[in-house]
Chain A
């Protein structure tokens, strides 16, 4: 009854062993030489400048723009297969794609009206 689970059990044990060995092994085998340069942020040899704690690293605006870009950029992915198969899909494909784009434009209208596209 439980025989099929044996490979899974082994896989689980192997996975857990790999995790434990790599974590513990790193601690045991790896050299422990900490110095200031090693603990610093990696900045290509430039001495890292102290940042005031209160200053955010990037303005939040960057993140907002990045998020909007990702979403609207990736949605276009569905247009490619549709464009390739457009001839076969015909009117049905067109209607579905218009419905899809209308939904994307609803989101666009929201972003635009709420000032997501202003850079100030």
Chain B
């Protein structure tokens, strides 16, 4: 099995994440789609590490995981606070800011 298949899988997962981000309404689900995008990048990184024969990609995946965790925490804090205010996590309800 050639490593390129993993790259295709990663691209598909990334696209699913993008589509989910654009189409879903619930802020938590939208946010999970971003996490899916980040993890699909991780798959690309380790595949390229394998193809290039270097370790860098694997180390980068570690950093991405840590950054993603920090992002989860910040994001959950913001989404929970807005949910407590509005009793809804729909991104369509956040519509006060416009001209």
Contact = CB atoms under 8 A, between A and B. Distances in A.
**A/B touching: CB–CB < 8 A:** yes
Main secondary structure of the interface of B (DSSP, over half): helix
B65 A77 contact: yes
Contact of B73 (A19, A60, A67): A67
A96 interface: no
Please name the 5 residue pairs, one residue from A and one from B, whose CB atoms are nearest each other, closest first. A74-B69, A67-B73, A70-B69, A63-B80, A77-B62
Please tell me the size bucket of the interface on A. Answer: 10 to 19
B62 A56 contact: no
Interface string B73-98: 10011001000100100000000000
Nearest to A56: B84
A63 B18 CA distance: 26
Contacts of A74: 65-66, 69
Nearest to B87: A53
A90 B80 CA distance: 44
Interface of B: 15, 18-19, 22-23, 59, 62, 65-66, 69-70, 72-73, 76-77, 80, 84, 87
Nearest to A78: B62
Contacts of A81: 59, 62
B66 A77 contact: yes
Nearest to B61: A77
A11 to B, nearest CB: 9
Nearest to A63: B80
A19 B21 CA distance: 12
Contacts of B76: 63, 66-67
A23 interface: yes
A78 B57 CA distance: 15
Nearest to A76: B66
Contacts of A15: 15, 18
A36 B76 CA distance: 31
A39 interface: no
A97 interface: no
A18 interface: yes
B84 A60 contact: yes
Given A74-B66, A77-B62, 20 more contacts: A15-B15, A19-B19, A19-B22, A23-B23, A63-B76, A66-B76, A67-B73, A67-B76, A67-B77, A70-B69, A70-B72, A71-B69, A71-B70, A71-B73, A73-B69, A74-B65, A74-B69, A75-B66, A77-B66, A81-B62
